[in-house]
Structure 1
Amino acid sequence: MKTPLLLAVAAATAALAGPNCPPLGPVYEKPYNFKTSSAIQAAVANLTASFTAWDQNNSSVIRANTTSYSIEVFSTSKENPLIFSWHHTAASLAAATNTSGVRKTDANAVYRLGSLTKVFTVYAWLVQDGDAKWNEPITKYVPELAAAADRAKADPVANVPWDEVTIGALAGQLSGAIRDYGLMSEITQEFNQGEAMGLGFPPLEDSDPMLPKCGEWPQCNRTEFFNGLLRAYPSFAPFATPAYTNTGYQILAYALEAIKGKSFQTMMEESVLQPLGLNHTYYRDPPAEEGIIPGVRSESGWNYQLGDENPAGNMYSSVGDISSLGRAILRSTLLPPALTRRWLKPASMSSELVAGVGYPWGVRRVVVPYRQGKRVVDAFNKAGRIGYYASLLVLLPDYDAGFSVLIAGEDIPGNTNFNMADILGAQLVPALEAAAREQAEAKFSGEYVDEARNASLRLTTQSDRPGLGVENWVSNGTDMQTIAVVMQGGYAPVSPSVRLYPAGLETVRADGSKRVAFKAVFEDLNLPARTDSMFSTDCGTWVSFTGVVYGTQPLDQFIFEVDAEGKVVSIESLALRSVMKKR
Structure 2
Amino acid sequence: MRSLPYLLPTLISSTLAYCPIPGPLLPPPVLAPALNLSGPAIDNSTFTSWHSKPWVDNTSFAITASLSGAELFHFEHIDPDYARNVSVCNTQFRIGSVTKIFTILAVLLSKDQIGWRDPITKYVDGLKGDVWDEVTIESLAGQTSGLGKNGYVGDLVYQGASVAALLNLPKAGNTIPNCDYAALDGVRVCTQNEVIELFNSPQWLPESPGTGPAYSNLAYNLLGIALAKAHGKSYEQVITDLITQPLGLDNTGFERNAKGGAILPNPGDNWWTADFANFNPTGGLWSSANDLLKVEQAILSNRFLSPSETRFWLKPASLTASLHQAVGAPWEIFRPDTLDTTYKRPIDLYTKEGDIPGYASYAILIPEYNVTIAIMVAGNQYSAAIHDLFPMIVEHLVPYTDNLARKQAERKYVGTYANSNDSIITVAQDSGPGLTITAWRNDGVDLRKSLSTLVGIPLNNFSIRLYPADPDSFAKTEKWRLSFEKIKNENSFADQDCQGWVHADNYRYIQERLDELLFTIDDGKAVEVNLPAWRTTLVRR
Determine which of 386, 406, 431 is the counterpart of 1:437: 406
Instruction: Report deviation, 1:482.
Output: 2.5
Pairing of 1:209-248 with structure 2 (within 5 A): 211-217=176-182, 218-231=188-201, 232-234=203-205, 236-248=207-219
1:521-540 maps to which residues of 2 (within 5 A)?
A: 521-526=483-488, 528-530=489-491, 533-534=493-494, 537-540=496-499
1:132–1:543 CA distance, 2 compared to 1 (3 A): farther
Deviation, structure 1 residue 537: 2.5
What residue in structure 2 maps to residue 294 of structure 1?
Answer: 265
Counterpart check, 1:75 vs 2:67: yes
Matches within 5 A, 1:179-258: 179-183=149-153, 185-191=154-160, 193=161, 195-206=163-174, 208=175, 211-217=176-182, 218-231=188-201, 232-234=203-205, 236-258=207-229
Q: Structure 2 unaligned runs (5+)?
A: 10-15, 183-187
Deviation at 1:478, TM superposition (A): 1.2
Residue 507 of structure 2 corresponds to 548
**Residue 30 of structure 1: CA displacement?**
0.7
Give the alignment partner of residue 471 of structure 1, picking from 411, 422, 438: 438
| Distance of aligned partners of 1:542 and 1:372 in 2 relative to their CA distance in 1, 3 Å threshold | farther
Deviations 1:441-477 (Å, cap 9, x if unpaired)? 011000101224x321101111x21111111111121
Query: For residue 21 of structure 1, what is the aligned residue in structure 2?
Result: 19
Q: Which AA in structure 2 matches 1:427? A: H
Q: Does the 8 A contact of 2:143 with 2:214 survive in 1?
A: yes
Give the paired residue count.
Answer: 524
Partner SS, residue 470 of structure 2? strand
Query: For the structure 1 residues 517 and 58, does the alpha-carbon distance in structure 2 shift closer, same or farther, using more than 3 Å as the test?
Result: closer
Identical-pair percentage: 29
- 1:483 aligned to 2:450? yes
Q: Say whether residues 1:319 and 2:289 are aligned partners.
A: yes
Gap change, CA 1:50 and 1:525, over 3 Å in 2: closer
Letter in 2 for 1:322: L
Partner of residue 455, structure 1: 423
Separation of aligned partners in 1, 2:67 and 2:206: 39
Task: Please state if 1:49 is matched with 2:45.
Answer: yes
2:94 aligns with 112
CA distance in 2, matches of 1:27, 1:131: 37
| Letter of the 2:427 counterpart | L
Please tell me whether residue 557 in structure 1 is matched to residue 516 in structure 2. Answer: yes
**Cα 1:104–1:288 shift into 2, 3 Å:** closer
1:394, 1:402 within 8 Å by CA — same for their partners in 2? yes
Aligned to 1:400: 370
Q: Distance in 2 between matches of 1:42 and 1:529?
A: 39
Code of the residue aligned with 1:122 in structure 2: it is: I
Instruction: Please report how far the alpha carbon of residue 221 of structure 1 lies from its aligned counterpart in structure 2 after TM superposition.
Output: 1.8
Aligned-partner residue type, residue 572 of structure 1: N
Measure the CA separation in 2 of the matches of 1:371 and 1:260.
46
Cα-to-partner distance string for 1:4-29 (whole Å, 9 max, x where unaligned): x99xx9xxxxxxxx963111121111
C-alpha change, 1:65 and 1:440, in structure 2 (3 Å) is same
- Counting only pairs closer than 5 Å after superposition, residues 399-438 of structure 1 correspond to structure 2 as 399-409=369-379, 411-438=380-407
Give the counterpart letter for 1:519 in structure 2.
R
Q: For 1:376-391, list aligned pairs within 5 A.
A: 376-391=346-361
What amino acid is the match of 2:306? P
| Whole-Å separation in 1 of the counterparts to 2:21 and 2:75 | 35
Q: Distance in 1 between matches of 2:398 and 2:193?
A: 48
Query: What secondary structure, in the 3-state scheme, does the structure 1 residue paired with 2:534 have?
Result: coil
| Amino acid in the other structure paired with 1:142 | V
Alpha-carbon displacement from aligned partner over 1:362-389 (angstroms, at most 9, x marks no partner)? 0011226689966322110001112311
Kindly indicate whether the alpha-carbon contact (under 8 Å) linking 1:501 and 1:518 is maintained by their aligned counterparts in 2: yes
Counterpart-to-counterpart distance in 2, 1:546 and 1:40? 36
Paired AA for residue 520 in structure 1: L
Shift of 1:416: 2.2
User: C-alpha displacement at 1:195, in angstroms?
Assistant: 4.9
Q: Secondary structure at the match of 2:177?
A: coil
Q: Secondary structure at the match of 1:377?
A: coil
| 2:533 match | 575
Matched residue SS, 2:56: coil
- Alignment partner of 1:66 is 2:24: no
Measured after TM superposition, the shift of residue 578 of structure 1 is: 0.7
| 3-state secondary structure, aligned to 1:543 | coil
Q: CA RMSD in A?
A: 2.6
The CA distance in 2 between the partners of 1:124 and 1:449, in whole Å, is 51
Q: Deviation of residue 287 (structure 1)?
A: 2.3
Counterpart position of 2:301: 331
Q: Is the 8 A contact 1:39 1:434 kept in 2?
A: no
Q: CA deviation at 1:283?
A: 2.6
Q: CA deviation at 1:545?
A: 0.7
8 Å Cα contact 2:435/2:466 also seen in 1: yes
Q: Are the counterparts in 2 of residues 103 and 292 from structure 1 also a CA contact under 8 Å?
A: no
Distance 1:34 1:271 in 2: 32
Is 2:479 the partner of 1:517?
A: yes
Gaps of 5+ in 1: 10-17, 95-101, 151-160
CA deviations 1:180-208 (Å, max 9, x no partner) are 1232x2212232x46533442211222x4
Cα deviation for residue 541 of structure 1 reads 1.3
Contact kept? 1:467, 1:501, Cα under 8 Å: yes
Matched, 1:359 2:338: no
Whole-angstrom distance in 2 between the partners of 1:366 and 1:391: 20
Structure 2 CA distance for aligned equivalents of residues 426 and 525 of structure 1? 27
Contact 2:440 2:447 (8 Å CA) reproduced: yes
Q: In structure 2, the residue corresponding to 1:182 is in which secondary structure?
A: helix
- The residue identity in structure 2 corresponding to 1:459 is V
Separation in 1, partners of 2:32, 2:328: 29
Q: 1:408 deviation in Å?
A: 0.8
Question: Which one-letter code corresponds to 1:21 in the other structure?
Answer: C
What is the CA–CA distance in structure 2 between the aligned matches of 1:373 and 1:64, rounded to whole Å?
34
Q: Give 1:213 deviation, angstroms.
A: 3.3
After alignment, is 383-392 or 492-501 more displaced?
492-501
Instruction: List per-residue Cα deviations over 1:109-157 (Å, max 9, x = no partner).
Output: 1111011111111111212327971112111221222xx123xxxxxxx
SS across alignment from 1:274: helix
TM-score, normalization by structure 1 = 0.84
The one-letter amino acid of 1:202's match is: P
**Contact persistence 1:375–1:466 (CA under 8 A):** no
* Alignment map for 1:273-284 (pairs within 5 Å): 273-284=244-255
Q: CA deviation at 1:82?
A: 0.9
For residue 355 of structure 1, what is the amino acid of its counterpart?
Answer: Q
* 1:149 aligned partner, one-letter code: G
Tell whether 2:337 aligns with 1:345: no
